[in-house]
């Protein structure tokens, strides 16, 4: 059984608020890189090419992103135009409305969508937990477009929207033989002051495996780095409480997966790790292509591990009993564009930032689950 978790950062379209926030964060990195290249006394052709890319990203040579859509009635046809596309649809002759409307989302590039699927297809998990999925319809279409005619067909799909209102819901895909027995969302959970505890969501799945084993999956996305540490701590406390309750009820196979938005040493999420849950990156089988050059032997504070010097925000945490059943594990970051050093090998289809599948890696682990006695009796 192979389980993966992936903060996919939406499938086909992303809310404009998220795009603008990410641009603000990245622009500081782009500015530093541009200034560094610009100050070099001798520049290579690669330096000039990169400066041109950065100039476009920083808006030196292009109109700034517009979040508005213009509409105009011309001779009975409604003409719709944005910075992204032009299309024409028929409108009633009685309708003579001209104006504009605010766009709530922008489309993700075809290359980026393809690379999102490529990451999942390469790992080929039996169960994949996805964070930041805009809606169920998109998840169904994503599955149909990339997995339906593949041996990696996912037969069960679930999507639950959270509290954010920005299309950052969570989804789960399961292959044939794996069945969702129950699901619970903690989106209505409130803190001591009566406010919603999870600004996105925290979800609990009960899965039946082909080996007739029960698997409990706790999928989460905690408050972002720009948000309060105290809020993240409260959210982490609830997750730790649910995990501990499952252990007290005799559950053995438990996974906590998702984006905690904090490094492993952070106090705000310490209550989760203090339950005794095990981080998959610490398993001997954990494998990932290392950073290039000297960075392959470097261990940055807050990174996943030595040679994997990207800041850890995403986790695949498993109960001690399940940790002993791990046969293989790893991390796929081939569709992440390195904004700055350290660098690592990427897919040929990732040529720039816009082609990146996500800013997050996919984490996975493969477990050996022996068939239960009850299953043998049933098949006898």
Domain match, 36 and 96 both: no
The answer to whether residues 136 and 228 belong to one domain is: yes
Which CATH number belongs to the domain containing residue 171 in this structure? 3.60.10.10
**pLDDT computed for residue 221 by the predictor:** 95
Domain count along the chain: 3
- Same domain flag for 119 and 37: no
Residue 184 sits in the same domain as residue 317: yes
**CA atoms 136, 141, 144, 146: torsion sign:** negative
Range of the domain at 76: 68-102
187 falls within a domain: yes
Indicate if 48 and 6 belong to the same structural domain.
no
In-domain check, residue 368: yes
Q: Does one domain contain both 21 and 114?
A: no
Is residue 11 domain-shared with residue 22, that is, in the same domain?
A: no
The reply to whether 377 falls in a domain is no
Q: Does 112 reside within a domain?
A: yes
Do 94 and 8 belong to one domain?
no
246-297: pLDDT as tens digits: 999 999 999 999 999 999 999 999 999 999 999 999 999 999 999 988 888 8
Same domain, 76 and 175: no
pLDDT tens across 48-94, in order? 877 777 777 666 545 445 555 555 555 555 555 544 444 444 344 44
Is 297 in the same domain as 180? yes
Among the candidates 46, 77, 102, a domain finishes at: 102
Residue 62, in any domain of the structure: no
Q: Is residue 356 part of a domain?
A: yes
pLDDT band at 378 (very low <50, low <70, confident <90, very high): very low
């Amino acid at each position: 059984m192979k389980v993966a978790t992936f903060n996919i950062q939406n499938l086909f379209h992303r809310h404009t608020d998220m795009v603008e926030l990410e641009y603000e964060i990245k622009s500081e990195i782009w500015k530093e890189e541009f200034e560094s290249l610009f100050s070099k006394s001798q520049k290579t052709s690669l330096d000039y090419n990169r400066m041109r890319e950065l100039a476009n990203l920083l808006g030196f040579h292009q109109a700034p992103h517009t979040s508005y859509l213009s509409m105009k009635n011309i001779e009975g046809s409604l003409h719709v135009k944005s910075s992204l596309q032009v299309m024409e649809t028929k409108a009633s002759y009685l309708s003579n409305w001209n104006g504009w409307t605010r766009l709530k989302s922008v489309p993700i590039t075809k290359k980026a969508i393809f690379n999102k699927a490529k990451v999942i297809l390469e790992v080929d998990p039996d169960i994949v937990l996805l964070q930041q999925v805009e809606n169920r319809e998109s998840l169904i279409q994503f599955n149909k477009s990339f997995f339906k005619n593949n041996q990696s067909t996912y037969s069960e799909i679930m999507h639950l929207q959270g509290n954010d209102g920005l299309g950052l819901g969570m989804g789960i895909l399961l292959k044939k033989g794996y069945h969702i027995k129950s699901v619970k969302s903690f989106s209505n959970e409130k803190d001591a002051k009566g406010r919603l505890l999870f600004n996105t969501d925290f979800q609990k799945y009960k899965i039946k495996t082909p080996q007739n084993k029960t698997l409990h999956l706790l999928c989460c996305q905690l408050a972002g780095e720009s948000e309060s540490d105290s809020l993240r701590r409260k959210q982490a406390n609830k997750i730790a409480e649910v995990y501990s309750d499952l252990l007290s009820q005799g559950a053995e196979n438990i996974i906590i997966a998702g984006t905690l938005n904090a490094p492993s040493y952070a106090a705000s999420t310490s209550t989760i790790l203090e339950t005794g849950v095990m981080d998959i990156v610490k398993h001997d089988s954990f494998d990932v292509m290392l950073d290039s050059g000297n960075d392959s032997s470097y261990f940055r504070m807050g990174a996943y591990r030595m040679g994997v010097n990207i800041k850890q925000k995403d986790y695949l945490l498993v109960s001690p009993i399940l940790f002993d059943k791990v046969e293989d594990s790893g991390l796929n970051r081939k569709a992440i564009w390195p904004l700055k050093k350290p660098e690592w090998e990427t897919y040929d289809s990732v040529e720039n930032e816009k082609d990146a599948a996500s800013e997050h890696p996919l984490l996975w682990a493969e477990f050996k689950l022996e068939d239960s006695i009850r299953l043998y009796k049933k098949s006898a």
